[in-house]
Structure 1
Amino acid sequence: MERLPTRLYTAQQVKQGEQLAAQQAGVEMYTLMQRAGKAVYQRIRYQYPNIKHLSILCGCGNNGGDGFVVAKLAQKDGLDVQLYLYGDEAKISGDAKKAKQAWLNGGGEISSIDSFNAGDADLIVDGLLGTGLSCDVREPMQVIIGKINEANLPVVSIDIPSGLCSDTGSILGAAISANSTVTFIGVKQGLMTGQARSVVGELHFAGLGVDEEFTQLASHSALSLGSESVKHLLPKRCPTAHKGNHGRLLCIGGNEGYSGAIRLCASAAARTGAGLIRTLCHQSSTLALQVGCPEVMTRSWNGNSELLSEALQATDVLALGPGLGTDNWAKTLFLACKSSTKAKVLDADALNLLANEPSADHARVITPHPGEAARLLGCSVATVEQNRFQAVKDLQNKYGGVVVLKGAGTLINDGHDIYICNAGNPGMATGGMGDVLTGIIAAMLAQGLSLSDAAKVGTLIHSVAADELVQQYGQIGLLASDVIPASRAAIQHCLSLGE
């Protein structure tokens, strides 16, 4: 994915701001439409230089108007263009009507969408539905979207894939699966997370010459998180540093039969810079940690309150949850950590226990996946995924601190801003990935980062490391343990940017 603007917006913010931005820049709205169409056509020619036959599908709104501009440019360039209109041609108005007339004046023709045949094209341009869609698409649009998706042809979507909600990233009944999407003026937040990650394809941005004015006028709704965003946040080391300067971390979990989870957590923390790491685990897990993770001090815990109190007192940061379980052993540890004022990261069974006894803690990072988020909010997973932005807001309002809502396009809410991680891949959908993330975030906290910065850096490093591995070896077979050494390399990569 190319480097995109970091500020993200809702569709309404862009709709309201683009006219003011155009006025401020002295640009007519029809000129913006022409520039949008040109940006889409340039992207098509760059990515698909050998195409000869275009099918352009237009609606009656401004997205359709952009499509008419694309059609005229392609025809002028000698391509065979078939343009199909969805809706009543008489309803096309304003700038879209101007674009339509310019297409007709140049000898272009308009066919009904009913006659659309995907087999006639080398590439499909999607200009059907824009960012104003707020309800599920219905017939016959669902049928049209199905035909496009079944055509096995490259698709370039104008501004947003038709059927995708630009504010939430959820699919509204059905959506076109694009290979590329060119969005304009301000990047819509819904293009970056959730189901959007399966239909947007490569996301490209065109400011149309008014993006600077727009940025000055509009407040962002979310922020995109990339390697450049976290470079300045990464912990630095002075020449006289010793292990005590980089934090004391206590990892708690590893109940009977779950030694692997706490080992992944502690190992990840060690590889990403925590100074001194201790674990408290079930006695049956002790040997596995001592052998597999010799850099980590490991103690078994069998209910000794004095040992637990000493361990909590001696640490700066807590990581609670990997392999914790939900039995009485786990509940006792959970309650002890819950009452601690130390900075902490909660994941896995710690979140399930938290869902049973909800409380707010402003010294805490929680890292739920959608299933855990649903339990924490008392709703369904479908509700969480339908509007991930609302879910992460509700989680932060209810539980305080910083919330990392994992998934495609992980969201981070620190109570002030929402960040979207623009790294990560489907290969990460394997057991233990969350345990590694917990360890990395906890390591960043131990090294002195704030809750917000630790969550942002940890999430980004975790995803960048996984992306690097996938580029080398592919998505299938990616293990959580693979990401641990790669996270160290990802930190060095981020530190070296711009050098």
Structure 2
Amino acid sequence: MLRPLYRAAQVGELDRRTIAGGIEGFALMQRAASSAWHSFRGRWPQVRAISVLCGGGNNGGDGHVLAALAAQAGLKVQRIVLKEISELQGDAARAAQLATSAGVGCVAWHPEIELTGEVVVDALLGTGLDGEVQGDFRRAIEAINQSGLPVLAIDIPSGLAADTGAVLGVAVQASRTVTFIGDKLGLHTGAAPGYTGEVDFRPLGVKALAFFDIPPAAWLLDEAILAESFCPRQRTAHKGDMGHVLVMGGGPGLGGAGILASQTAARLGAGKISLATAPEHVVASLVRCPEVMAHGVRGVADLGELPAQADVRVVGPGLGKGAWGQAMLQSALQKDSDSPRSVPLVIDADGLNLLATHWPELRRDDWILTPHPGEAARLLGISAGEVQADRPAAVLTLQRKRGGVVILKGAGSLVAGPSGLVVCPYGNPGMASGGMGDALSGILGALLAQQLGLERSAWLGTLIHALAADRAAAQKGERGLLAGDLASYARELVNPG
């Protein structure tokens, strides 16, 4: 049910094999341009004039063919080239000649040129870009963005890295991106959500999964997996069947995070929730959610049998990096020698920072780590900028180093586990507020307690967290969205109708 995602080189190989299988390269280009034209018409049916900017490769060729199709449909077409037609080769040259034969005019790009279309078509640079955009291409991209016109990007917004979603100096800000043959990993994470607009995937009749020796680089999460994951409960179910989550957090002066995590876990269906928090936060927890069993804990001795009784330990929300937080994390990491079972962990926030400083080599197969880019950078010993420059590489490296499952939060959250990489395409800017990570930790704890498995819990938890925020934003807007708002929407998602 999940859509496969590929790297640029993999899509290039799929393209090559499709042509080798009997489809002429120019015919495939025409098929791509026709799909782009239909995508354009579906999005802007009333437009009567377009500006098409064409580069020198096959991406530019797609633009030339689309320009011909638009002219044949009666649109006024401004065709702007950044490489002289006489210098084009192969299929790109044939495409340019097709547009010329269709009566489409052609002008060379210059900085003073005015874009006369109602919509701009970006066919400047394809997926093969591997360095910062320079020269006239950079100036053309800047002109597109400054025009304020809606943009259809062909295959990928020019200047966006197809494998990572990073901006290579400057990138086209598209309203819609139509992409072909194999969907690209870099269209769904990093900076990409701010540049792609809607992503319209057109496989062009190519069944990428049929090429077994080209495994997808990642998979795109889809809301449809919720229905198959949350079946109705047995009529005889009791709270002991639904697991016991222990949230260890809310150190002195940091009570809210632990309360958020434990309340969210309760709303996601865990049978019992215990909160080990600083004593001064117990009353607030009882007032906020009396169903949570709040325990005032001054130190490890006050924990008693709580860690051993829990089916899942969530540690990190409001933990702090002082002595209290260090003691809680050390207790959470200890394995019960009297029990053969492994108690899974969810570690977030200062739990991750403490791992980086006090347990730099610790690796486990029974935990979910949930870093944002800054926390991931500390765990990897690099900068947050380096993490964001190649988010897929960062999360995969961290998972190999630390084991278990790693969720790299942010736009296009990534989940890396034993089965590989998945990408979450949901979520919104309203989630840029305090406590969102704590809510995610509570969701993950509840799913693990209900025995959905480590990796699947990470996939579902990331998906539910983002979709709950989208539902909340759809009802009342992004600004002012609070982490505490998510629990009720998340509850609806785990009870699909």
The TM-score bracket by the shorter chain reads over 0.9
Amino acid at match of 1:293: C
How far the C-alpha of 1:397 sits from its partner, in A, is 1.4
Q: CA deviation at 1:51?
A: 1.1
SS, match of residue 438 in structure 2: helix
Aligned pair count?
Answer: 489
| Corresponding residue of 1:382 | 385
Of the three residues 43, 56, 59, the one matched with 1:47 is: 43
Q: Which residue does 2:178 correspond to in 1?
A: 182
Which position in structure 1 is the counterpart of 2:437? 434
1:330-386 CA-to-partner distances (Å, cap 9, x unmatched) read 111111112234101000110110010221111100000011111111111100000
CA distance in 2, matches of 1:474, 1:22: 47
Q: State whether structure 2 residue 209 is matched by structure 1 residue 206.
A: no
Query: Aligned letter for 1:39?
Result: S
Contact 1:55 1:118 (C-alpha < 8 Å) held by counterparts = no
* Aligned-residue offset at 1:117: 3.3
The alpha carbon displacement at 1:116 in A equals 6.4
Rounded Cα–Cα distance in structure 1 between residues aligned with 2:202 and 2:321: 50
1:19 Cα deviation after fit: 2.3
Specify the alignment match of 1:310 in structure 2: 305
Contact 2:300–2:328 under 8 Å retained in 1 = no
Structure 2 CA distance for aligned equivalents of residues 119 and 441 of structure 1: 49
Shift of 1:249: 0.8
1:228 shift after superposition: 1.5
2:423 counterpart residue number: 420
* Superposition map of 1:252-331 within 5 A: 252-305=248-301, 307-331=302-326
Secondary structure, aligned partner of 1:194: coil
SS of equivalent to 1:266: helix
Shift of 1:144: 1.4
Match of 1:11 in 2: 8
Residues 141-220 of structure 1: pairs in structure 2 closer than 5 A: 141-211=137-207, 218-220=214-216
SS in structure 2 at match of 1:227:
coil
Where does 1:56-71 land on structure 2 (aligned, <5 Å)? 56-71=52-67
Matched, 1:225 2:221: yes
CA contact (8 A) 1:185 1:206 kept: yes
* Unmatched segments (≥5 aa) in structure 2: 336-341
C-alpha contact 2:447 2:457 (8 A) present in aligned 1: yes
1:348 aligns with 2:345: no
Identity value in percent = 42
* Whole-angstrom distance in 2 between the partners of 1:211 and 1:180: 23
- Answering whether residue 451 of structure 2 is matched by residue 455 of structure 1, we say no
Q: Secondary structure at the match of 1:140?
A: helix
Residues 116 and 28 (structure 1), Cα distance of their counterparts in 2 relative to 1, 3 Å cut: farther
SS of residue in 1 equivalent to 2:200: strand
Pairing 1:445–2:414 present: no
Deviation at 1:235, TM superposition (A): 6.1
Cα distance change of structure 1 residues 254 and 471 upon mapping to structure 2, 3 Å threshold: same
* In structure 2, C-alpha distance between the alignment counterparts of 1:188 and 1:376, rounded to whole Å: 27
| 2:376 counterpart (369, 373, 379) | 373
Query: In 1, are the aligned partners of 2:14 and 2:181 still within 8 Å (CA)?
Result: no
Helix, strand or coil: the match of 1:40?
Answer: helix
Question: Structure 1 residue 44: deviation in Å?
Answer: 1.3
Distance in 1 between residues matched to 2:317 and 2:161, nearest whole Å: 35
Q: Distance in 1 between matches of 2:356 and 2:450?
A: 29
Question: Residue 239 of structure 2: which of 227, 243, 249 is its match?
Answer: 243
SS at match of 2:240: helix
2:126 paired residue among 127, 130, 137: 130
Aligned-partner residue type, residue 86 of structure 1: L
What secondary structure is seen at the aligned counterpart in 1 of 2:131?
coil
Does 426-435 or 230-239 show the bigger shift? 230-239
Counterpart contact for 1:252–1:324, Cα < 8 Å: yes
Determine if contact 2:84/2:108 at 8 Å carries over to the other structure: no
1:48 shift after superposition: 1.0
Match of 2:442, as an amino acid?
G
Q: Which moved more, 1:203-212 or 1:478-487?
A: 203-212
Tell me, in whole angstroms, the C-alpha distance in 2 between the residues paired with 1:119 and 1:58.
13
Partner of 1:21: 18
Whether contact under 8 Å (1:368, 1:406) holds in the other structure is: yes
Aligned-pair CA distance for 1:269:
0.3
Is the Cα–Cα contact under 8 Å of residues 265 and 446 in structure 2 kept in the other structure?
yes
| In structure 2, distance between residues paired with 1:114 and 1:214 | 45
TM-score (norm 1): 0.95
Distance 1:36 1:5, change over 3 A: farther
For structure 1, list consecutive stretches of 5 or more residues without a partner in the other structure. Answer: none
Amino acid at match of 2:344: A
After TM superposition, give the deviation of residue 472 of structure 1 in Å.
Answer: 1.6
The superposition leaves residues 403-427 of structure 1 with CA deviations (integer Å, 9 ceiling, x where unpaired) of 0000000000013310001111111
Match status 1:121 vs 2:117: yes
The aligned residue for residue 339 of structure 2 is none
- Aligned Cα root-mean-square deviation (Å): 1.5
